[in-house]
Amino acid sequence: MVRGQYYFVKGLLEIPVIGSDVVFSWGVWVSLSRENFSRLADLWNRRGRETEKPHCGWLTTNLPAYSTTTLNLKTNVHIRPVGERTLAWIHQFKRLRI
């Protein structure tokens, strides 16, 4: 939270490596609404939190490998089990080109 006005969560953007079982992960920041951030905070240490529906947000990390900016792309945040980083999923990821 920044100045009680902006709300962010850190997550992983996982990209499968073609031709292998390896997944490459970017560490990214996603902005959330106050309501979604509050809900995520309420669930942070709760077992079973991974059953929560995804929360909508906006990617606030520019990934330099892509030819177009990745800032402000519509993103879903999926909560994983306690102890695991959240998962970020970009809605238009297939449109990004390296």
CA distance 59 to 47: 26
Q: What is the pLDDT of residue 66?
A: 80
Q: What is the pLDDT of residue 2?
A: 65
DSSP-assigned states of every residue in 8-61 = EEEEEEEEEPTTSS-EEEEEEEEEE-HHHHHHHHHHTT-TTGGGSPPEEEEE--
* pLDDT < 50 positions in the chain: 98
pLDDT in tens, 22-39: 999 999 999 999 999 999
